[in-house]
Amino acid sequence: MNIMSKLFGNIEFKKEDVHYYVMLLSAPVLLTVYRYHAYPNFFFEYFPKYKNYAGGDVLAAYWLFLFFFVLMFVLPAIYVKWVMKRPLTDFGWGLGDVKYGAKWLITIPLLVVPLIFIASKMPDLRSEYPLAKSLLGNQSSLLVYESAYVLFYYVAWEFFFRGFLLFGLRERYGDVAAILIQTISSCLVHIDKPEGEIIGSIVVGILFGMIAMRSKSIWYVFLIHASIGVFTDLFIIYFN
């Protein structure tokens, strides 16, 4: 009996499941790195000269978007392509069932956009968004900001949670477990956000997980999720 067995008993480790172990561990590891190195307060610690710089919070937001993109898209994509040696389309990168996905692209915005407008009047949400508060008074960089928000933050978000985790883990743990695991992980990113947003992230995580799985693509939920984020910013900025 080896020392591991003496200490922990007969815990079974399956070599053929190592990729699933990596996927499961990637969520707490990458999200912890993100939480303690990507947030704006860390940006100003690393680059203190921008703390009192006009528009410094916009630069801090770019730092957050790019940091998140590297952690949640670049690293998982490298792992899929060069370690697992599988195409990204196995993880929802393709268009999948276009007809099914398009139905949700039409249905959800019609229902959600009015709710976003109402929610944008709530003080707790207004205190959170936009992430760069200088945009409330100066919108000169708004187009670049929102473009970076969508292309880096939301692409990475959907690839990691509704791609890498969802499609990767379903093969081993089944559809329901995969949906719940990615929902738990994505919910944790919302810690410190308004309570309503955290609760909503659980509902949205399950719903978006089911849509992505059924459509076999991350792109439909990406468009919906990104539009929610952008509309939230625009409503707060222009209807304050």
Q: How many Å apart are CA 203 and CA 198, to the nearest integer?
A: 9
Q: Model's pTM, two decimal places?
A: 0.93
CA-CA-CA-CA dihedral for 73, 23, 98, 221, to nearest 10: -70
Mean pLDDT, the chain, rounded, equals: 93
Q: Coil, strand or helix: which one is 17?
A: helix
Strands (E), the chain: none
Q: How many Å apart are CA 76 and CA 92, to the nearest integer?
A: 13
Q: What token pair was written down for 22?
A: 């990596």
Q: How many Å apart are CA 71 and CA 66, to the nearest integer?
A: 9
- Domain boundaries, given as residue ranges, for the chain: 15-238
Q: Coil, strand or helix: which one is 58?
A: helix
Q: Label residue 3 by pLDDT band (50, 70, 90).
A: low
What does 195-236 look like in DSSP terms, one character per residue?
A: HHHHHHHHHHHHHHHHHHHHHT-SHHHHHHHHHHHHHHHHHH
DSSP H/E element including 171: helix 166-173
Does position 9 have pLDDT exceeding 80, yes or no?
no
Task: Summarize pLDDT for 182-230 with one digit per residue, the tens.
Answer: 999 999 888 888 888 899 999 999 999 999 999 999 999 999 999 999 9
Looking at beta carbons, which pairs linking 178-181 to residues 24 or more positions away fall under 8 Å? 178/209, 178/213, 179/205, 179/206, 179/209, 179/210, 179/213, 180/206, 181/24, 181/27
Task: Summarize pLDDT for 33-86 with one digit per residue, the tens.
Answer: 999 999 999 999 999 888 888 889 999 999 999 999 999 999 999 999 999 999
Does position 90 have pLDDT exceeding 80, yes or no?
yes
Q: Which residue shows structure tokens 């190195």?
A: 37
Is residue 164 within 8 Å of residue 26, measured between CB atoms? Answer: yes
User: SS in 3 state form for 77-90?
Assistant: HHHHHHHCCCCHHH
